[in-house]
Amino acid sequence: MSNLTFAIIKPDAVKNNYTGKIYDHILSKKFEILSAKLIKMTKKQAEGFYEIHSDKPFFGELTSFMSSGKCMVLALKKNNAVSEWRNVIGATNPSEADEGTIRKLYANSLGENAVHGSDSDENAKKEIAFFFSDSELILNA
Ligand code: UDP
Ligand code: MG
């Protein structure tokens, strides 16, 4: 599974009409999109997805934000997908993100930072399975 990662175009970026621009980053960096869908998470779903952060002070704010509007969830494939995607998105805090990264270009705050990326192969696998059934992942096309 080391060639897979999971991405979210977060509600701020969808609202601000950056979905197409972010898709261009995905495609120009040669990620293959195995699956993508537009969803609106419930608060409970957001809490489940970010369970790893449930003890953090920003958990309530984060899960409210993530369930506040539409977002696009994606399963992406590329060699070293996890680290490659994290390079494309940039640092968590947009003010610390490198020039040209998605968060530098399209995010305005630490909380509302345009995109998600998995932090390990193990979590990528879990996160893809959280949102996609096997039949939704187009593996051999
Ligand atoms: N976050 C926040 N305040 C913080 C740290 C993180 O609101 O002090 C939010 C932010 O949206 C971030 C998400 O929580 O993307 C998950 O945090 P993590 O440290 O896993 O950052 P990421 O992996 O998304 O770069
Ligand atoms: Mg993280």
Q: Tell me which H or E stretch contains 59.
A: helix 59-66
Answer whether 0.85 is exceeded by the pTM: yes
Give per-residue pLDDT as tens, 9-33: 999 999 999 999 999 999 999 999 9
24 in a structural domain? yes
The dihedrals phi and psi of 33, each to the nearest 5 degrees, come to -90, 110
Longest pairwise C-alpha distance within the chain = 43
What are the pocket residues of ligand 1 if the criterion is a CB atom closer than 6 Å to any ligand atom?
53, 58, 62, 92, 110-111, 113, 116, 119
63 in a structural domain? no
Q: Count the neighbouring beta carbons within 10 Å of the beta carbon of residue 37.
A: 12
Tell which atom from ligand 1 comes closest to the C-alpha of 113.
11
Domain containing 129 equals 4-41+68-136
21 in a structural domain? yes
pLDDT band for position 140 (cuts 50, 70, 90): confident
The dihedrals phi and psi of 55, each to the nearest 5 degrees, come to -95, 5
Which residue in 77, 78, 103, 116 is the catalytic one?
116
**116 in catalytic set:** yes
Q: How many domains does the chain have?
A: 1
Residues 6+ apart with CB under 8 A from 55: none
The dihedrals phi and psi of 20, each to the nearest 5 degrees, come to -65, -45
CATH number at 11 reads 3.30.70.141
Dihedral, CA of residue 16, residue 26, residue 2 and residue 55, to nearest 10: -10
Give per-residue pLDDT as tens, 90-112: 999 999 999 999 999 999 999 99
Give per-residue pLDDT as tens, 34-79: 999 999 999 999 999 999 999 999 999 999 999 999 999 999 999 9
53 in a structural domain? no
Tell which atom from ligand 1 comes closest to the C-alpha of 91.
25
Question: Looking at residue 1, what is its pLDDT?
Answer: 46
The dihedrals phi and psi of 8, each to the nearest 5 degrees, come to -130, 130
